[in-house]
Structures are given as C-alpha cells and as structure tokens.
Homo-oligomer: A and B are copies of this chain.
Amino acid sequence: MPITKVNENELLDRLTDVFRTYGYEGASLSKISEVTGLQRASLYHRFPGGKEDMAKAVLERAGQWLTGQVLAPLSEPGKPADRIRHMAKELHSFYAGGKHCCLLDSLSFGSDDSDIRQHVQQGMSEWVDKLAKVVREAGVSSKNARQHAQDAISHIQGTLVVARVMKDYGPFERMLSELPTTLLRKKS
C-alpha cells in the first residue's frame, strides 16, 4: 500500500489543534485541510464520517491520553499527595502550561442534543468519576470526594478559560500547585 502523507498520530495532533483553537463550527474543512496538508477528499478517506468523525476521534484520543497519562499516576503506589503532584505535572504538559485549551470546552457549544455534545459530556463524566474514586481511596468521604473532584475540574477548566482569554497562565500554574491541598481537604 502507498505510504501515508501524514501518519495517524500526527494527523490527530493537528486535528486536535484546530478543534481546540476554533471550536467545532469554527474548524472549517478548508482550515483543517490547510493544517493537515491533506485535501478535503483525502480527509474523507481517513474519516469516512467526515468532520464529526474527526472530532470524535480527537476526543477519543484525548480521553485515552487523560486516562493513561494524567489519571494513571493516581493509582500508583506512594503518598496520595505525591501522586496528585505527579498528576499535576502531567496536567501541566497535557495543557502545555495552559496554552492549550480543553476540548471539553471548545467542543461543548452548539445544540444541546448533538452527537459531539454527548461525547463531551461522557468524557467529562468519566474524568470526574475516576478522579473522585482516587480521592475517596485517599480517605475522603464519598460525598466530599465527588465534590472535590468536580471542584478541581471546574478550577482546571476555569483557569484554562482565563488563560485563553487573558494570556495569563498564572492562575493555571497556581491552581496546579494547590491541587494536592484542595483535592485532599477533609472538610470543605
């Protein structure tokens, strides 16, 4: 078979970049074609389902990344606070120090019942659940654990919004450094 012009991983990297930056509607096929170096028709060869397939693939891979790289350190041996510090480090590189915004934000606009929206919701839902589980294992009560997980993710999303709008990455950095404390606080 002929060689691919762009390999799967790099293709998804660039797609991620476009969807992150411009959102779903803003990510036109022209822009995608320009960024990936593939013509529209070639993109349809790679993603028969078109733009929606691309967005789903991007979300899928981001979810795997999150699970494997960010959430995994939480399940390894060591003191809970150390494990969370490890996660913070992974989050830092995942979001490029706040310079990359979150797909769960950029892809969550538009009509309520869109297919993409459901994927986004499921992604965030899994994130909350997995994070809450670990916090619970660290000795926080079940109810508080879920709240802390939600609050942490809220804070991540919020600092990323501020970073995007203001180009100020301070709040994101600060939030990461305070994660061990805020996430494991016994009483809210």
| A residues adjacent to B (C-beta < 8 A) | 21-26, 102, 104-106, 108-111, 120-121, 124-125, 128, 147, 150-151, 153-159, 161-162, 164-168, 170-171, 174-175, 178, 188
Number of copies: 2
Contact in complex: A161, B157 (CB < 8 Å): yes
* Residues on the B chain within 8 Å of A102, using CB: 161
Contact in complex: A157, B147 (CB < 8 Å): no
* Residues on the B chain within 8 Å of A171, using CB: 147, 150-151, 154
* Residues on the B chain within 8 Å of A151, using CB: 171, 174-175
Q: Name the residue among A105, A109, A125, A188 with the largest chain B CB count within 10 angstroms.
A: A109
Contact in complex: A158, B154 (CB < 8 Å): yes
Contact in complex: A165, B21 (CB < 8 Å): no
Asked whether A175 and B161 contact (CB < 8 A) given A23-B26, A106-B109, A166-B125, the answer is no
Nearest CB in chain B to that of A26: its residue: B25
Contact in complex: A26, B109 (CB < 8 Å): yes
Contact in complex: A104, B159 (CB < 8 Å): no
Contact in complex: A159, B165 (CB < 8 Å): no
Q: Name the residue among A151, A154, A188 with the largest chain B CB count within 10 angstroms.
A: A154
When the two chains form the complex, which single residue of B104, B167, B174 contacts A165, counting CB atoms closer than 8 Å?
A: B104
23 A-B pairs with CB atoms under 8 Å apart are A21-B109, A23-B23, A23-B26, A23-B109, A23-B110, A24-B26, A26-B109, A26-B110, A102-B161, A104-B161, A124-B162, A147-B171, A150-B162, A151-B174, A153-B162, A154-B171, A155-B158, A157-B157, A157-B158, A157-B162, A158-B159, A158-B161, A178-B188
Asked whether A166 and B121 contact (CB < 8 A) given A150-B171, A161-B105, the answer is yes
Q: 8 closest A-B pairs (Cβ-Cβ)?
A: A158-B158, A154-B158, A25-B26, A157-B161, A157-B158, A25-B25, A23-B109, A154-B159
